Amino acid sequence: MSILEVKNIKYKYNKFDESSKYALDDISFSIDEKDFVAIIGESGSGKSTLISHLNGLYKAYSGEILFKGVNIYSNDFNLTDLRFKCGIVFQYPEYQLFSETVIDDVAFGAMKKGLSKDEAYKKSVEVLKLLGIEHLKDEAPFNLSGGEKRKVAFAGVFVMDPDILIFDEPDAGLDPVSKDQFYELIKSLNNKFGTTIIYITHNLDDVIEYANKVIVLNEGKIVKTGKPFEILTDKEVMTKANLEMPYAVSIYYEVLKKGYEIDKTKLKFDELLNSLINLK
């Protein structure tokens, strides 16, 4: 079932300038429960603007967004509630940590949702445990490493029990090990709780590894949506979106060029390695 349906939304930042371009121009797509969706596109293509619509932070000029079948722009829709159900972790969220200790920061998120102080702290410890950072609970956020800070900021959103988790470039500025850990963490939450994941990234090899659906944007329009292998091996789409093919896809095409057959649908690292070993 669709958890989110975006129908023909349009948005521009400067509404008084008739000649200005739409930052989002007739965007439509749908997302199912438990999906792991990557939004890709070059800088300025509208990715961040798009996700800010998904929890009602920005309001589209026209079009509709349905959350679990209900139009979020209808008069009686509870937008505050949507912000909890559809949690956004913005780019470099660690800059927004402000409390003296990690646990205080996370509990602040829980109290916003209306939990009592006791409940909020109890819940925050559970979430820190789940994210593998319980040992940091009494640390001052500014003493932590980049990867740890990002997990704490993420905990502050996850503590609100969102049905959908949205990340704006969760991998930006993380070292390769922290980046992989972070993706594995998101994947485990997706598996364990069925949390729908939507994330923006420039790292297309990781898209093959983790996403089950991809949305490609260019100049505020959707170029294509589909499965990672469908999108990333589509030369026309990649050219149109000004994106470079990930390594896995380059390898795929090189192998084809050498006259071998290889399964296009299996481009994850392990799958590709297997295909290469078994080339005949």
Angle between helices 102-112 and 117-130 (to 10 degrees): 120
In degrees rounded to 5, what are phi and psi of residue 25? -130, 95
146 binds, among Mg ion, ligand ADP, none (CB under 5 to 8 A by kind): none
Residue 80's binding partner among ligand ADP, Mg ion, none (Cβ under 5 to 8 angstroms by kind) is none
The dihedral sign for the CA sequence 79, 80, 86, 88 = positive
> Could you say which of ligand ADP, Mg ion, none residue 49 binds, taking C-beta under 5 to 8 angstroms by partner kind?
ligand ADP
Shortest Å distance, C-beta 169 to ligand ADP: 8
45, 48, 190, 196: which one binds Mg ion (CB under 5 A)? 48
User: Cα(65)–Cα(8) distance, rounded to whole angstroms?
Assistant: 9
Residue ranges that bind ligand ADP, judged by CB under 6 A = 13, 23, 41, 43-49
Minimum CB–partner distance for residue 166 and ligand ADP (Å)? 13
String of contacts with Mg ion for each residue 102-141, x by CB under 5 A: ----------------------------------------
C-alpha gyration radius of the chain: 20
Size of the site for Mg ion (CB under 5 A): 2
Select the binding partner of residue 225 from Mg ion, ligand ADP, none (C-beta < 5 to 8 A, by kind): none
Phi, psi torsion values for 203, nearest 5 degrees: -95, 90
Q: Which is nearer to ligand ADP, 77 or 90 (CB)?
A: 90
Looking at residue 279, the DSSP 8-state letter turns out to be: -
Q: Who contacts 21 (Cβ-Cβ below 8 Å, separation ≥6)?
A: 12, 219, 220
CA angle 128, 134, 137 (to 5 degrees): 95
Nearer to ligand ADP, 163 or 169 (CB): 169
Q: At closest approach, how far in Å is the CB of 49 from Mg ion?
A: 8
Sign of CA dihedral 257, 259, 261, 267: negative
Helix, strand, coil in percent for the chain, rounding step 5: 40, 20, 35
Q: Minimum distance between the CB of residue 24 and Mg ion, rounded to whole angstroms?
A: 13
Q: Which listed range, 42-50, 171-179, 249-257, 260-268, lies at the site for Mg ion (CB under 5 A)?
A: 42-50
What residues line the site for Mg ion (CB under 5 A)? 47-48
